[in-house]
Amino acid sequence: MSLPLLGERVPEFTAKTTHGVVTFPKDYEGKWVVLFSHPGDFTPVCTTEFVAFQKRYDEFRKLNTELIGLSIDQVFAHMKWIEWIKEKLGVEIQFPVIADDRGTIAETYGMLHPGKGTNTVRSVFIIDPNGILRAMLYYPQELGRNMDEILRMVKGLQINDEYKVALPANWPNNELLGDEVIVPTASDCQTAATRLKEYDCYDWWFCHKKIDLNK
């Protein structure tokens, strides 16, 4: 099984969704995308995940980010399940869900892991406005995802693009730096010598700074 690689353009496909036919990633040019797979419709953990994603959908859209779900169920099953979620739980799922009933997309994206059964695992692909894969996550069927972490990753990647900085562990609540970001390490002696004067640093290779997160 091959997987899409970070930093490369994601594989293209055309598929049926609950919002009609989509050509991916062409239809999403200029937007960030969180493409995620779930093991199956009408299952408890997947239901909680869809509700959690929907509850944060406005936050994702504020970041110019769209959500797209996927499983190997047929589109009719997706439609009925979304209808059930609205009727029973009072939550309207507003993002599209891909019906990959032949499993071709799942195979291309490495969503099928034979050791975990025949359904798609809980994969997440964060794709930038140019169709480049920036991050991916895999969860087993028995563990639901943390949607706040996925939202944090999108924010962090966008900050990286804008400021050309790195983000520390648990950002924006890092144990050493709080919500500050890490300045790229100096690549020559002259820059290393001036870094200690320009930024707050633990050493020339570990400098950090504050940015305005409310821009």
Euclidean distance between CA atoms 93 and 145, whole angstroms? 17
Euclidean distance between CA atoms 142 and 130, whole angstroms? 33
Euclidean distance between CA atoms 12 and 118, whole angstroms? 23
Q: Which among 46, 189, 201, 207 is annotated as catalytic? A: 46
Q: Is 201 a catalytic residue?
A: no
Amino acid at 155: K
Euclidean distance between CA atoms 38 and 47, whole angstroms? 9
List CB contacts of 177: < 8 A, sequence separation 6 or more.
168, 171, 208
List CB contacts of 51: < 8 A, sequence separation 6 or more.
85, 89, 91
- Whose tokens are 């900085």? That residue is 165
Euclidean distance between CA atoms 128 and 7, whole angstroms? 10
Alpha-carbon distances of 132 from 4, 28, 35, 59, rounded to whole Å: 10, 12, 12, 21
Tell me which residues are annotated as active site.
Answer: 46
